[in-house]
Amino acid sequence: MHPTDVRCRSPRRNLAMWMASSLLLAACGGAEAEALADAESPGVASQSLVEPSSESADRRIIVYQTTSLQLIRMDNQGDSHLVAERTGAPEVSLDGSRVAYVKLPDGYREGDVVRSSELYVLNANSGRSVRVTQGFDDSEPVWTPDGRNVLFQSTRRSGVPSLWLVKENGKDLKQLTNAGTSQFSSAYIPNPALGGTVEWDADRRIIVYTTTSLRPGEDGEVRVITFDRNYDVATAYSLGTGFGPVWTERGTVVYSRNEGERVVSVEVRVK
């Protein structure tokens, strides 16, 4: 695939992967869960975002994406509201009050190359969405742990696949990686794989992720980026080939690697 070509892959994620991500903060209960399951079966990403008030203790605000890429918000009265058509995978802030998502072009069909996509942030309480970016191929939003910024990927902004940072109101846009470099430079830092996950450490300054393999059927790289307080890159390096990196309570990173016919587990301490 050409470096500037981005494809929306969220429909291909299965429900188990959704459950493992930061998307699902709490499961729906009782009749609500059954109704959602019946209406949207496999491929639905649903989550309880806001705790119920004392007046409606049996309901929560739920946001979910359908298999047809619609983003739906169910309020605490049980009424469903369409947030947007043709969206990328949504990402919930740690406090559960906001959802970052990508709006795809109106004519988008699954499998199309996406050369234009915009970031939005949904307020779960009010149901109001605010456009954060426009005019480029912004994708794969991830909240920073402090909940103040959205990390995302773009190629068209600089001509090189890079990570960018922006506040939820669209201010203070900043290129984090690959400024002034090319994909052929030794300083080039690969982006996380599309549809993959970014894992922040407990101190909120280090991320680990898996890159896309250059050879079909082979593992990508497990990579580390450390940031300073201004989110400038301090270090960036590879831990080797593998997939599925996660942080442990011991402050180490555990990931898997294919070795011949076996899948082995690797544990590394990251400094």
- So what's the pLDDT on residue 49? 58
pTM over 0.85: no
Q: What is the spatial distance between Cα 253 and Cα 270, in angstroms, rounded to a whole number? A: 7
**pLDDT score of 237 more than 70:** yes
- So what's the pLDDT on residue 55? 45
- So what's the pLDDT on residue 8? 44
Q: Note whether 38 and 28 are within 8 A (CB).
A: no
- Of the pLDDT bands very low, low, confident and very high (cuts 50, 70, 90), residue 56 is very low
- Of the pLDDT bands very low, low, confident and very high (cuts 50, 70, 90), residue 195 is confident
Cβ-based neighbours of 256, under 8 Å, separated by 6 or more:
242, 243, 244, 263, 264, 265, 266
| % of the chain exceeding 90 in pLDDT | 62
Q: What is the spatial distance between Cα 82 and Cα 100, in angstroms, rounded to a whole number? A: 15
The predicted-structure confidence for 156-178, as pLDDT tens digits, reads as follows: 999 999 999 999 999 999 999 99
Rounded to an integer, the average pLDDT of 10-34 is 35
Domain ranges for the chain: 6-197, 198-271
- So what's the pLDDT on residue 26? 31
- Of the pLDDT bands very low, low, confident and very high (cuts 50, 70, 90), residue 204 is confident
